[in-house]
Structure 1
Amino acid sequence: MNDRAPAPGGLALIQSLVNTLDIESGADSLDTAEGRAPFGLAEGEAEAARELRESLRAACLAHAGHPAHHAVTPLGELLARAPLHVTVDEHDGAARLVPAGAALASRVAAALADALVEGTWLRLKACEAPTCHWAYYDRSPAGRGRWCSMSVCGARAKMRRYRAK
Structure 2
Amino acid sequence: MTNTTRPAPFFVSDHMALDFLSTRTAPWGKEIEWLSRGTDLLDWLEAAEAISGDQKKALSTQFSTAELEAACNSARSLREWFRGFISSYAGNELTEFDMAELQPINQILAQGSQYSQVSFAGEGSHVQLTPFIHWRSHADLLLPVANAIADLVCNQNFKYIKNCEGPTCNLFYLDETKNHTRRWCTMSVCGNRAKAAAFRARKKRSS
How high is the TM-score relative to the length of structure 1?
0.61
Counterparts in 2 of 1:81 and 1:32: CA distance versus 1, 3 Å: same
- Cα shift at 1:112: 3.1
Instruction: Give the corresponding residue for 2:90.
Output: 63
- Cα shift at 1:46: 2.5
Equivalences for 1:1-165 in 2 at 5 Å? 7=14, 11-12=15-16, 14-23=17-26, 24-38=29-43, 39=45, 42-61=68-87, 62-64=89-91, 76-84=102-110, 87=116, 89=118, 103-116=140-153, 119-120=155-156, 122=158, 123-157=160-194, 159=197, 163=201
3-state SS of 1:83 partner = helix
3-state SS of 2:108 partner = coil
3-state SS of 1:103 partner = helix
User: Quick check: 2:117–2:129 contact (8 Å CA) kept in 1?
Assistant: yes
User: Quick check: 2:109–2:147 contact (8 Å CA) kept in 1?
Assistant: no
Counterparts in 2 of 1:109 and 1:34: CA distance versus 1, 3 Å: closer
Structure 1: gaps spanning 5 or more residues: 66-73
User: Quick check: 1:99–1:110 contact (8 Å CA) kept in 2?
Assistant: no
- Per-residue CA shift, 1:52-111, capped at 9, x if unaligned? 11233344444257xxxxxxxx96132132124675859xxx878876756244322322
Aligned residue pair count: 152
- Cα shift at 1:132: 2.0
Counterparts in 2 of 1:81 and 1:127: CA distance versus 1, 3 Å: same
User: Quick check: 1:125–1:135 contact (8 Å CA) kept in 2?
Assistant: yes
3-state SS of 1:30 partner = coil
Counterparts in 2 of 1:76 and 1:105: CA distance versus 1, 3 Å: farther
Structure having the larger proportion of residues in helix: 2
Larger radius of gyration: 2
Structure 2: gaps spanning 5 or more residues: 1-6, 46-58, 60-66, 93-99, 120-127
User: Quick check: 2:38–2:71 contact (8 Å CA) kept in 1?
Assistant: no
How high is the TM-score relative to the length of structure 2?
0.51
Higher RCO structure, 1 or 2 (CA under 8 Å, sep 6+): 1
Provide the C-alpha distance between the structure 2 equivalents of 1:143 and 1:126, rounded to a whole number of angstroms: 13
